[in-house]
Each structure stands twice: as C-alpha cells, then as structure tokens.
Structure 1
Amino acid sequence: MNAAVADSVAIVKRGDCTFIEKSQLAERYRVKGLFVYNDGTAPDRFQPLQGATTHFNSTIPAYFLSYNLGIQFVNAASDPSANAGVIMNIDVKDAEGIGNICADTPTGDKTKTIIIGSHSDGVPDGSGINDNGSGTVANLVLALNLARLLQTASLNYAPYQYRVRFCWWGAEELGLLGSIYHVEQTSLASATIESGRLEDYLLYFKYDMLAAPNPNFG
C-alpha cells in the first residue's frame, strides 16, 4: 500500500468501473473519503450524479461532484504549493426518518404474510408520475379494493388465509434505504409476529413504473 495515499481523500473521475468498485478500492487504500466527479464527455455529464451510491457497508463517506468542481480539486491536488485540504461535514440522520408506510389487512395468518410494495419517491430528472407515482397509486388502489372486499359480509367466499401487508418505501432512489431498513427491522431478534418477522414473509410483489411500456410488475 502506498503510505502517501492512506489518510488522504481520493478524487476519482467517473469511468468504466462501478461506483461500488471505486469505493471498495478507496477503502482498500485506507483513504478517509472519496470524491467521484462527472467526466464531462457529454452535455448531461457535467452535473453531479443523482441517485448514485457506493456499497451499503462502506466505511468511508463518498461525495459525487460536478465535472467543473472535480477539475478544480484535481488541479489543486496537483499543485504542491497549494497545500490543498478538505473539510467534510457529515450529517447522520436516523433511518426512521426515511418515510416508510405500511398497512396490514386486519385478518389473515400473520405468520403467512404477503407483501405488496412500491417506492413513493422519485429522482429530480425523472418522470415522477411514472417512477413511481404509477406504482404508488396501483398499490393504493389494490389496498382499497381489497379492504372493500373484506368488509363486504354479503359475499359468500372463504376467509382469506394470508395477511397482506401494503408498503410504500421511502428513499429508495437514494439506495433502497426504505426497503433495506424494513428488512433489517424484521430480521431483528426483537421483531414480533404483529410487527412483522422476515421469516413470516411468503411472497413480495413489487410495483414499479407501471405506466411505462415495459413496467416492472411482479
């Protein structure tokens, strides 16, 4: 390992390897932080990257920069007389603030749970009405119709044996934060049958971009 690299901040241009590979290499060389800047090879590749993430178990902070800002950092780092340094302010937020919403059917075996999920956020440059307004609304409509069905006592059908849990995940476009948080909570030893245990989940339906010509449904 290059001793001059350890305890430094790595500045890396966007390229062929993935952001996960970049962060793993940065950790291997024991840098204190990672800056990835856009490459400026096309009009849409000058601004900071949106929705890009490093691997979930990363131990170092990573920032995604515009091409122009990245070049400024590179030039400063290349000039020994500049004595360039970086101060990183990190605001750590509790994962409970990501905005997950889940609702369960009042009947059904809680140890046999079917999950129907959709993420309720979007990306700044995307069509929010499709990604993922369409999946969010489809999930809600399905929940409302199932509620009406369960409340209609005049229908002659056998009681549904499964509990159905409808979930709307928050912060999915930032790295699947909402659904990962839910999986982590349901995997805890303290998780209860009522709140949900991962071992009781039988099936997961994902509703995403249903208004697209090639929707992600199922």
Structure 2
Amino acid sequence: MSLTDREYMRFSRHIMLDECGESGQSTIKNAHVLIVGMGGLGCAAAQYLAAAGVGTLTLVDHDQIELSNLQRQILYTEKDIHSAKVEVAKIKLMAMNSHLNVKAVHQSVFNINLNMMLNNIDVVLDCTDNISARHFINQACVNTQTKLVSASAIQGQGQLISFDFSQHRSPCYQCLVPDKTQVESSCSSLGVFSPLLGVMGSLQAAEVVKLLLNQHQTLNQLLCFDSWKMEFKSISLKADLDCECCGE
C-alpha cells in the first residue's frame, strides 16, 4: 500500500532521508514485525517502531505487569499492575498511531507455533531475558530464514546483534552463545540500570528499520555498550561451521 497524504506529512522526516524516501516509508508501512518479550527492551523498541510507521506489530509475552517492572518498562503505569503486558501495550501503541495494527499474544513463546507464525513476519525482535528463549527464537528464525535482532541488558552492560539468515553462511545466536544450559544472570538477581533498557531497545528498533530498508552495514556485529563509561565496542561474528543450529 502506498502512503496517504496524511502519512506523507507524518513521516516527512523519514522521507527526506536518502536511505529511506517515500518508497522506503511505504516498505516500513507494509512491514510485519514480531516482538518477543514486552519488558524493558520490548517497551522501548515497540514505541519507536510504532512511531516510525511499521504497519503491523505482533507482541508475544505471557507476563503480567508488576510494581518492580515500572522502574524500566516505560509503557506501563501503576494502574496497569496485574494486567497482561501485551494487552496494555496494544492499547497504548495504537493510541500512538491509529493506523497501527497490533496483535497481542498473551502466551509464552514456547507455547505457540513460532515456525508457522514466522511465515508472515519480516523481522523478529528478541527482547527476552533468558538463554532458553533466545536459543528457541534463534532456531526458528534460522529454520525460516527470518531476520533477527537480539539484545540484552544486565546491570550497566548492553549487547546487540542482528542476523539475516537468508544470506549465505550467516552466523546465528548459537554461534555466539553455544551453551544452551549455561547459568544466566537476570536483572531480578543482579539489577539493571533503567535507562540502559531504553538505549538498547531503541537500538533494536533502529536495526529493524534499517533491515526493512535493506541497510545491512551492521549485520553480524556484536555491539557492546557500557552505560557507566558511555563506551561502545563492536566485535565481528563469523559462522561456526560446527554450530548445532546453523553449521554444516
């Protein structure tokens, strides 16, 4: 679908960009993005994707809002406590952009047919907070050759990486973290600096829009951010030929 006159005005600052233009904004409008995990990362990423004009967002999360979430999960307020995250997020995101189509899936990612769902998805955002979910999502994206943007945040440290599995010999998340059973720290046990979730979630949204616009400059680059020192580091990741997920 092409842009309406109102959409042309609303997204004019994107349309001015050489990397986007009117055709790029139309691509964003017709895109379908899946966000798994509507915690701190998902809240930030979803708002920027809604504002950027992504046409359809599917949100997957089984959790309800708790008081301790409010320190960093900025879509929610005190009156939302005990409500399903995806249902509250759907209402608030659609209030930001009335043309946005939001599908709320109040289930664990392990309880849905993710491979089938990905048949209609352009990019997946992994905004989860545990190793098992990340490996599960990664495997499904490899199986279906769906683009994946994964991020994490703990204490003051953030990580971000993007994959396009349609590309020959693309690495995957399991190449980066091969051990599916490793003990993982969580913000509930070690804490997390609240603005860090906004930074990493916004970076995820930026990566998604870039992938939709075929801007692939940062694929397979692990970006590490130290929020205390305000330092970024980037590390190139290559495919592990012995990887159990994507290897030969």
TM-score per shorter chain, which class? Answer: under 0.3
State the TM-score, normalized to the length of structure 2. 0.24
> Could you say which structure has the larger radius of gyration?
1
* Structure (1/2) with the larger helix percentage: 2
State the TM-score, normalized to the length of structure 1. 0.26
